[in-house]
Structure 1
Amino acid sequence: KEDYDLCTICYSVMGNEGDYTRMDKPVSVQHLHPFRGPFTQFPNPWLSHPVPRATNGGAPLRCTRPKLDSRFVLDVNVIDGTVVAPSAPFTKIWKMRNSGSLVWPQGTQIVWIGGDRFCNSLSVDLQ
């Protein structure tokens, strides 16, 4: 599954809870690491208590807590398939949409969570 945040209510109605890992406390970027083996070898202390189930007569529940969020819109430059010489420096620009319910505060960063790494930094300041 993709990596994204859900409120407690949405987490409990997302379908098969075995497909997701619930974390009740934020995890800093420094603590992220690739999957190292079967889940049973690394029990998750955050899953030690049953997850409460929320119901709304079968109707989908919406998260109402404000949150920071974004969505990719388009590549402004260096589009997919562009050939760049090895070790050639370049600046990559994406157009992003604020799809959350909060204004992005000063100092907001985009954080790498997986896929191809474009630089040595795990995060970049939003400009």
Structure 2
Amino acid sequence: MRDAERRLFNSLLQAKGVATGRRTTVRRLSDTRNSPLSYSQERLWFLHQMEPEGAAYNIPAAIRLKGNFRPAEFRRTLNEIVRRHEVLRTRILVKDGKPIQEVLDVTAVQDRTDPSHPVLNSKGS
């Protein structure tokens, strides 16, 4: 946003009574290993309990990659994404009858980049 647009946007927000100029940051919890679920997570967990094989929140997609595939770089990229985003390492457990989230330690993505792997073999063999 350009400065003029930002000033206009802030003045419109202030006219509606919305505070501007200060940023809110989400603080990292000191121990995220066993945290309670957010309301959204709890809702999804409940729906999963009702229909474990349900796929209502799954979005199937496939991407065809063209060009020279470099397995080492691909694996390094996936590992970095998993390292940065705890949500990709989070699982839900039940402890004392209540669901909790457990953030797993960072581990390397398994090597399934072998061209003979059925998922990566475009010939379907």
The TM-score by the shorter chain falls in which range?
under 0.3
Which structure is higher in helix share? 2
- What TM-score comes out, normalization by structure 2 length? 0.20
